[in-house]
Chains A and B, each alone.
Chain A
Amino acid sequence: MSATTTVTLADLTRMLRESAGEEEGVDMDGDVLDVSFDDLGYDSLAMLQVIGQVQREYGIRLPDEAAADADTPRALLALINTNGHVPQTG
């Protein structure tokens, strides 16, 4: 992808569903931007899985600690769209 492409909430929601499924009783299409991943039903392993998918799909690498600290969709999207665009070399 080009360095200017922005990952949207819809993109992230799709990847969360694909990587880790959707908790019963949670509406991922609702206003979830500032809801913690914990409250959305995603534990640390689920986040590891979805961050792996983000990195693969967008060819970027997110620093482990910063990714772990991003505890809402807004925070994670900010990380992806600002700091994340380091081309993967591995």
Chain B
Amino acid sequence: MTAAVVTGLGIAAPNGFGTEAFWKATVAGESGLVPLTRFDAAQYPCVIAGEVKGFVAEEHIPSRLMPQTDRMTRLALAAADWAIDETGADLRQLPEYGMGVVTAASGGAVEFGQRELQNLWSKGKEHVSAYQSFAWFYAVNTGQISIRNKMRGPSGVLLTEQAGGIDAIGHARRHIRKGTPFVLSGGVDSALCPWGWVPQITTGRMSTVADPDRAYLPFSADASGYVVGEGGAVVVLEDAASARERGAPRIYGEVAGYGATMDPPPTSGRPPGLRRAAEIAISDAGLTPRNIDVVFADAAGVPELDQAEAAAISGLFGPRGVPVTAPKTMTGRLLAGGAALDVATALLSLHAGVIPPTVHVRAPAPAYGLDLVTGQPRDTAPRSALVLARGYGGFNAALVLRRTDG
């Protein structure tokens, strides 16, 4: 079977903009969680977020695209440019229909949408941007990346909330296997506006702690919910043979296994599906749990969800049987961008041979039986990683990444 390898990453994260800055901050345990500045959150119970700092859109986005793009799409276009740049490929030399785009989305470009709906209600329909017709559509990142880079092959959008980044990459791998040699995937999201904030608060899973260092403590006895952030990662998947043939300057690793499940109805009495998704992904990679060197956890930060994930991990690997980490403690959960960023982080971890730490958590609750990497990074030279993600509504997704040498 054709192997799908990752040849380029583009990262826009609250703790680092660009692959190098992000990885340096992540290994150093530098958090990007802050009291919200993007809008006045004083009237809401949740006031901490992961904000991407220092992004000057005009430096990255052509003038023609500025009036028709939300921040989410601008971040995605910038990340896509970086990821493509890293691959060293000259897209003009590749067949347009041999390049696809599959990204994850959640609620679409809600900041743009909120502004235009406010124009509609307060000033009238003549004041609504013509670009509202597509700029807030949840498929817009895939569309704009595809148009800008003339990538006309099989493309799409997946919406499975926080699991979306993995599901998109899993789907991109299907396209690779069906003969599309170059597929851009991942997810970049931003919903830091009242309209994006309020629906998430209603889940009851967001932390109401107002201290950025104490708000999001997954697997801790003090866990009080999660923090939401913006950003994500774009990854370029290529057919391994064609990547080598064109002399791709770097291969971060192979997307070796993918699994996705749905949770049963809450009243069924059956267990949640996360462990099964992980088993499917590991088996799909032709591996056993013994071969997995690190787990990047979903890390919901909600006690019952942390417990369920810890049970899935220790059930598969044994108590303290594998190092587990949650670098998303530095960024918050990034909606459709979250799992994509975790995949990028895991690839950088394999590439560098270092497991980045979980920050702010002093130690996991002992009952979870987890070997959580806290405080310092670990130089254990992992060769394969399992990335877990859960999306609100019962989505589970797992991805196995393997180091490729040479």
A63 beta carbon closer than 8 Å to chain B:
no
Residues of B within 8 Å of A21, CB to CB, are 62-67
Cross-chain contact A20 with B126 (CB below 8 angstroms): no
Closest beta carbon of chain A to B370's beta carbon, Å: 50
| Interface size, chain B (Cβ < 8 Å) | 14
Closest beta carbon of chain A to B120's beta carbon, Å: 13
B286 beta carbon closer than 8 Å to chain A:
no
Cross-chain contact A24 with B62 (CB below 8 angstroms): yes
Closest beta carbon of chain A to B62's beta carbon, Å: 6
B42-77 interface mask toward A, CB cutoff 8 Å, 1 = contact, 0 = none?
000000000000000000001111111000000000
B130 beta carbon closer than 8 Å to chain A:
yes
| Interface size, chain A (Cβ < 8 Å) | 17
Bound-complex Cα distance A90 to B62 (A): 35
A10 beta carbon closer than 8 Å to chain B:
no
* A13-70 interface with B by 8 A CB criterion: 17-24, 41, 45-46, 48-49, 52, 55-56
Cross-chain contact A52 with B130 (CB below 8 angstroms): yes
Residues of A within 8 Å of B62, CB to CB, are 21, 24
B115 beta carbon closer than 8 Å to chain A:
no
B133 beta carbon closer than 8 Å to chain A:
yes
Residues of A within 8 Å of B133, CB to CB, are 45
Cross-chain contact A20 with B124 (CB below 8 angstroms): no
Interface core residue of B62, B67, B127 (most chain A CB under 10 Å): B67
Cross-chain contact B124 with A90 (CB below 8 angstroms): yes
B208 beta carbon closer than 8 Å to chain A:
no
B131 beta carbon closer than 8 Å to chain A:
yes
Bound-complex Cα distance A22 to B62 (A): 8
Residues of B within 8 Å of A49, CB to CB, are 67, 129-131
Cross-chain contact B124 with A22 (CB below 8 angstroms): no
Closest beta carbon of chain A to B132's beta carbon, Å: 10
Residues of B within 8 Å of A41, CB to CB, are 64
Bound-complex Cα distance A18 to B68 (A): 11
Residues of B within 8 Å of A45, CB to CB, are 68, 130-131, 133
Closest beta carbon of chain B to A55's beta carbon, Å: 6
Bound-complex Cα distance A21 to B64 (A): 4
Residues of B within 8 Å of A18, CB to CB, are 67
Interface residues of A (CB under 8 A from B): 17-24, 41, 45-46, 48-49, 52, 55-56, 90
Q: 22 A–B contact pairs at CB < 8 A?
A: A17-B63, A18-B67, A20-B68, A21-B64, A21-B66, A21-B67, A22-B63, A23-B63, A23-B64, A24-B62, A24-B64, A45-B68, A45-B130, A45-B133, A46-B130, A48-B130, A49-B130, A52-B126, A52-B130, A56-B126, A90-B124, A90-B126
Known contacts A21-B64, A46-B64, A52-B126; 5 additional CB pairs below 8 A are A21-B67, A24-B62, A45-B133, A56-B126, A90-B124
